[in-house]
Amino acid sequence: MTIIESRGLGKRYRRAWALRDCALAVPGGYVVALVGSNGAGKTTLLHLAVGLARPTAGQITVLGGESAGSADALDRISFVAQDAPLYRNLPVRDMLQVARNLNRRWDQRYARARLADLGIPLRQKVGRLSGGQQAQLALTVALARRPGLLVLDEPLAMLDPLARHDFMALLMGAVAEYGVSVVLSSHVLAELERVADYLILLARGQVQVAGEVEDLLARHRWLTGPAGETDRQAERMCVVRARRAGAESHLLVRVTAPLSPAPPGWESQSVGLEELVLAYLREPGASALPGPAAVRSDSAGAGR
Amino acid sequence: MTALAAPPAAQRPVPWTRLAWVTARQHRVALIGTLALLGALSLYLLIMGLQIRSAYAGVTSCRPAGSAACAETKSLFNAGYYSTAQFMCGLLQAVPVLLGVFLGAPPLARELETGTFRFAWTQGCGPLRWAISKLVPLAAVLTAAAAAFSLLFSWYYHPFFAEGLDGALAPQLFDLRGVAFAASTLAAFAIGAFAGMVIRRTVPAMAASLAAWTGLTLLTVLDLRKHYAAPLTGTGVIPGSPWMVGQWFTGPGGQKVSPSAVLQVVRQAPLSVQEGPNILPWLSQHHYLQWWSYHPQTRFWAFQLIEGGWLLALSAVLIGATLWLVSRRVA
């Protein structure tokens, strides 16, 4: 099942397009990282997926064909918006009760157990909790709804490193425990590298990269060789980014087969997710998209 | 990783009672404040109402009726209780808009202002049901409380009507009795809710709805209301404290004459008459008649129903538009 599928999706705010021609088919069961520069359209895409905004063009469906924002979709998608908005003037206990009363499905035992683990007192007002605790409470509330898809918009932005770690531990615990699909947008690449197994990179309101992380990493290499040969190599290969350091040249290239050998005189190294994302962020013109219509789960997906 | 949990076969929406609990919890302070204010005012009206009744019993049972002592009792009653009641009437004019706006604007504006709408509108109940469960119970509680309060006010004020001090259609009284008070409170609530959704910020929405309601009320009192029915016309002293909405003079030929023309005639009268109460009889002797257009008191309930009706319709349209705006933001 695809958890998010879109075709020709576009959203215009007043005059400017925040998102354009967005074609996606994200398979279920992944932790999907949504990355991109500020203003690339991440929040817009997430808001369209959870039904907080309506597309100006094209369409978007979720959870295998439900239209975004429909009753069934709302019932099975939990969304934690940026800054984890909750009712700050309510005590934690009442915040839980509010969430429980707004939903058909609710796992009170799970919510209570998680808050006890996290040491969040039920009598405390939400606004008095630390930023990390508020984020954890928002995540707990989202998970207690037992969603099929959990959507998180910049959940780590306001958190210190320890709180980030705890937040991701709670999230990954839920993924392991009952297999919720997760889509999260974030700027914290190091954190994503540990958890994400699917990547969507947006640039200027369009999809620049989309695919399984493992597959993307297998299809990209760093090549190091003499600077003089750079242009000749660049003609023969798909270069995402070229960087010169003295007599040496570093090329991030997309390869057709994972184990294709480096050209003579060149050294080949594997790529990390963070490096890969940074290279694409620096080169908004380059793209790595799956085949024309839908993402294929086989390994032929990444090159074009 | 497992597949997504399939939804249960019987898709029952979230029950209204549970949604109403959320509304009651979130707007607890505003609801308690509303009931406390109306409660305090009610207590005052109750105590004063009882005092007025015992004082009024003293006025009506005073014998002999025309004596100087009885006139003294009566004038004390008027100076004391009646003038206080006039002051209260002025004060109570502000109650509908205060309550309506303070209860109506925040439910949507605050969510939009603080960003919590991103939480509220992505819950399983859906934004439309959520918005209905906010606006309808709050509107119902507020309107019922206002209606009960206005009944109590009618009871409080009754001795003054019995004494013939006011007509039922007098603007400052019409607004506080019958169905007008409750309908006007509901309209303030609906204006507040709509402004909250459009302006998306609590304090500006409150200010805008305060201004809109005040403008609408002034327009109603000063102009709209007198057109609910064609006024009757008459000359001389019209009995039964009617609501006067216009006056003019006719001359010796029965034609309408301008106030300045009447003034010129008045200047021909002896000086002692000009300034005194006998000027109107003097004018009519000279075939200058003063005419009134007026609504008799018997039209009170017809006017109440017309005003209540259109305010109710306006409120329904505004609340409907607000709900439509909420649902339009999502699929």
pLDDT of the residue at B111: 96
Polymer length in residues for chain A = 304
Q: Is B7 on the interface with A (CB under 8 A)?
A: yes
Q: Is A13 on the interface with B (CB under 8 A)?
A: no
DSSP 3-state helix, strand, coil percentages of chain B (rounded to 5)?
70, 5, 25
What ipTM does the predicted assembly reach?
0.89
Scanning B228-267 for CB atoms below 8 A from A yields none
Is residue A265 situated within a structural domain? yes
Is residue A295 situated within a structural domain? no
Question: Does A302 score more than 80 pLDDT?
Answer: no
Interatomic CA distance for residues B210 and B191, integer angstroms: 9
Last residue of a domain, one of A179, A214, A249: A214
pLDDT of the residue at B2: 44
Give me Rg for the CA atoms of chain A: 21
Q: Using CB atoms, which residue from B12, B25, B122 is nearest to A52?
A: B122
Is residue A159 situated within a structural domain? yes
> What are the chain A neighbours of B2 within 8 Å (beta carbons)?
29, 178-179
A229/A122 same-domain check: no
Pairwise pLDDT comparison (A236 vs B27), residue with the higher score: B27
| Strands laid side by side in the A77-80 sheet | A77-80, A149-153, A181-185, A31-36, A198-203, A206-212
Q: How many of the other CB atoms lie within 10 Å of CB of B16? A: 14
Mutate to test the interface with A, among B19, B119, B134, B324 (most CBs of A within 10 A): B119
A104/A78 same-domain check: yes
Is residue A126 situated within a structural domain? yes
The mean of the pLDDT values for chain B is: 91
> What are the chain B neighbours of A94 within 8 Å (beta carbons)?
25
Partner residues linked to B222 by β-bridges: none
What are the sequence ranges of the domains in chain B? 29-54+75-230+298-327, 232-295
Is residue A292 situated within a structural domain? no
A209/A234 same-domain check: no
Scanning A195-224 for CB atoms below 8 A from B yields none
Average pLDDT over residues B198-221: 97
A141/A267 same-domain check: no
Q: Is B119 on the interface with A (CB under 8 A)?
A: yes
Average pLDDT over residues A168-181: 92
Concatenated DSSP letters for A95-141?
Answer: HHHHHHHT-S---HHHHHHHHHHHT--TTSBGGGS-HHHHHHHHHHH
A198/A248 same-domain check: no
The domain in which residue A138 lies consists of 2-214
Question: Does B157 score more than 50 pLDDT?
Answer: yes
In total, how many domains does chain A have?
A: 2
Average pLDDT over residues A279-292: 77
Each residue's pLDDT tens digit, B275-316: 777 888 888 888 899 999 999 999 999 999 999 999 999 999
Last residue of a domain, one of A184, A214, A244: A214
In which band, very low, low, confident or very high, does the pLDDT at B330 lie, cut at 50, 70 and 90?
low
Q: Is B55 on the interface with A (CB under 8 A)?
A: no
Q: Is B22 on the interface with A (CB under 8 A)?
A: yes
pLDDT of the residue at B10: 52
Share of chain A above pLDDT 90, in %: 64
- Taking CA atoms, what residue in B is nearest to A28? B3
Q: What is the DSSP letter of B80?
A: I
- φ, ψ at A202 (rounded to 5°): -105, 140
A45/A177 same-domain check: yes
A195/A230 same-domain check: no
Interatomic CA distance for residues A184 and A200, integer angstroms: 10
Scanning B121-150 for CB atoms below 8 A from A yields 121-126, 130
In which band, very low, low, confident or very high, does the pLDDT at A293 lie, cut at 50, 70 and 90?
very low
pTM, rounded to two decimals: 0.90
Last residue of a domain, one of A186, A214, A242: A214
Interatomic CA distance for residues A192 and A184, integer angstroms: 9
Average pLDDT over residues B49-67: 89
